[in-house]
A and B are shown apart, each in its own frame.
Chain A
């Protein structure tokens, strides 16, 4: 039932799309993309391929069987093997009855000028199309496996960006098919191959696939080991980087390394696409980010919770913040119990976000933040008062807790046991080696930014030839000049003056 409905809805939206955007039908867009890919291969410029792949998300939603069939028939000649093997993945259209024969190992000897990249691109499109409806998931898995084998046997560097996307589609196919863990050994093997071939794009994509698969099954240990054993390629595209940082942030947060988690999540947010384009990712990162920020003892900005994309998703977290605010600012009564009620009220949503245990850890942070605030506002406070203000069970507990806070460097101060109070140490002055460290970190960041932007500049091929010619000409002229001076024809002073 659901299936039929979905298809109906899809065809409707397709029809609407056709009316709404007459300038570029999917078929013509695919065709122009194919020319771009061919240009990319002939000029060795991966950026054309990347441009094609950028339009994939938008194109994906408008694909249907007919558009794909038409595009394939127009690109490939009638007798091409690739054509029949591609068409075999689509539901039979009345004109192509003979193409139903599946050719499991077609040798891609295209008679015309089409490159294998084009074929893989078509396979990628078909894959995304198959993934759009649940009834074709198993087909999608088969197609993905076959495509991946093909890519590996072709071993072409110009194929890498497309290959990375194919791996993504493979993962998606396995996940929707419900057997994500079955794909893990495939990823591991491919990751080894990719790193041997210095295939950075595929490698980046595969590392993310693996991390996702590990984290999906809560295998943090394995994920951590994978990270320590692999180098994430620095040339990876932003979208992969954003994912990688997000996974890294997750792992670090579980391992209590909140500072590292915070930096990684911040990077993920910065590298993520605009919130309106990819709201899911944006929300997921922010959920974790808010929790980590709270765990570090900071309060996230209120404006974050009013962001149109985030407002709904972060509601539970906002309640936690509201619950904690009183504790950290004025240590008002009852907030710990309020924290507990919020926690149980939103347990289900935290559970599905997989942040429950992280949020539960906040409890001890509430106490720690409380002590820090107390130590800032009092120069001397009795243990009993601490006990009352923080709702601790006994003075004895308070003494231990304060002692631990002093040792962990949360506060500066000492306990005077005989008198039963805590003396808070004076604040450090703002000048010291830390300042220069801070400066050097910021300067380093600016320099890094400059260097990165220099690296990101593109130069057209062979443009430097012109400079060489120019330089040679200049040298010639100089030689003549020198000769002239030697002969005494030109006065040296004159020459100098002329130059200036």
Chain B
């Protein structure tokens, strides 16, 4: 059986990944090889009985894979590893010993959903966590995304900005940049709706930019009008929507009523 290959490869991976700084290139190559081995042994979607030890190793390989994808910023790959890990976390939770990487990975997944603005998914995932509700706040890995979500929903963007360095695990920092991107876009869309014009300097502070040139670039992306001499951004106004009578809809409705009345009388 090819499980004889599993153990040496796994040891190599562990060495490559835990060395400081971790050897991402070798890890990637080893992960690809290990995935083939896992599929050959059927450990990737375990259906029959395997020894607990093999299952733990398989889980660990997938976990390293998930971390590795975040370090190399490969989101789709993280997504795949995470869904493969679901089997181990949910269905085998009574057989396998608890993995200390489980909650960091679940937390990372929550942040990923947050960044992609999939709030409904975020809440369904949160709801299905195997934790009683008051422990959600106690667990540092889960508390972080939960707080972020609350602030984002409230609109307390400055709190999000301040919390960006308080990541509970190293991997969380890899999300900071994309998180900032999400926040800036959120703020920008709020500003478009809420202001008629805004001084450049204030726009920079609101958007957490350090220099004016960054603001200018960002403004260009969003298509804002900039008056450089006065130093003011004007937001393009969405013209007042004209009140129009939806004729076709009204006609269709009336015809439908006529038909129904005909049936009754």
Are A433 and B246 in contact (CB-based, < 8 A)?
A: yes
Contact residues in A for B190 (Cβ distance below 8 Å): 400, 403-404, 406-407
* Complex Cα spacing A218 to B129, Å: 8
Contact with B along A436-455 (1 / 0, CB 8 A): 10001001000100110000
Are B133 and A360 in contact (CB-based, < 8 A)?
A: yes
Interface of B is mostly: helix
Interface of A is mostly: helix
Are A447 and B154 in contact (CB-based, < 8 A)?
A: no
* Complex Cα spacing A224 to B155, Å: 29
Supposing A218-B128, A256-B123, A356-B133 touch, asked if A401 and B156 sit within 8 A by C-beta, the answer is: yes
* Complex Cα spacing A255 to B80, Å: 23
Contact with A along B155-188 (1 / 0, CB 8 A): 1111100000000000000000000000000110
Are A407 and B189 in contact (CB-based, < 8 A)?
A: yes
Are B154 and A401 in contact (CB-based, < 8 A)?
A: yes
Query: Please, how many residues of chain B have a CB less than 8 angstroms from a CB on the other chain?
Result: 44
Contact with B along A391-411 (1 / 0, CB 8 A): 011101101111111110000
B152 to chain A, nearest CB (A): 9
Which A-chain residue is minimally distant from B154 (CB atoms)?
Answer: A364
Surface stretch bound by A, among B14-22, B47-55, B58-66, B193-201:
B193-201
Are A254 and B123 in contact (CB-based, < 8 A)?
A: yes
Q: Does B213 lie at the interface of the complex (its beta carbon under 8 Å from any beta carbon of A)?
A: no
Candidates A402, A404, A417; contact of B198 at CB < 8 Å: A417
How many chain A residues sit at the interface, stated as a range, is: 35 or more
Within 8 A of A (CB), among B240-254: 243-246, 250, 253
* Complex Cα spacing A256 to B113, Å: 15
Contact residues in B for A255 (Cβ distance below 8 Å): 120, 123-124
Which B-chain residue is minimally distant from A401 (CB atoms)?
Answer: B155
* Complex Cα spacing A257 to B124, Å: 12
Are A406 and B127 in contact (CB-based, < 8 A)?
A: no
Are A351 and B250 in contact (CB-based, < 8 A)?
A: no
Are B133 and A400 in contact (CB-based, < 8 A)?
A: no
Q: Does B264 lie at the interface of the complex (its beta carbon under 8 Å from any beta carbon of A)?
A: yes
Are A397 and B158 in contact (CB-based, < 8 A)?
A: yes
Are B127 and A218 in contact (CB-based, < 8 A)?
A: yes
Contact residues in A for B246 (Cβ distance below 8 Å): 433, 436
Candidates B127, B194, B244, B250; contact of A403 at CB < 8 Å: B194
Q: Does A418 lie at the interface of the complex (its beta carbon under 8 Å from any beta carbon of B)?
A: yes
Contact residues in B for A414 (Cβ distance below 8 Å): 194-196
Which B-chain residue is minimally distant from A415 (CB atoms)?
Answer: B194
Candidates A256, A357, A400, A413; contact of B156 at CB < 8 Å: A400
* Complex Cα spacing A368 to B75, Å: 33
Contact residues in A for B257 (Cβ distance below 8 Å): 443, 447
14 contacts between A and B (CB under 8 A): A220-B124, A224-B124, A254-B123, A256-B120, A356-B134, A357-B126, A357-B127, A364-B154, A397-B155, A402-B155, A403-B190, A403-B193, A407-B192, A415-B195
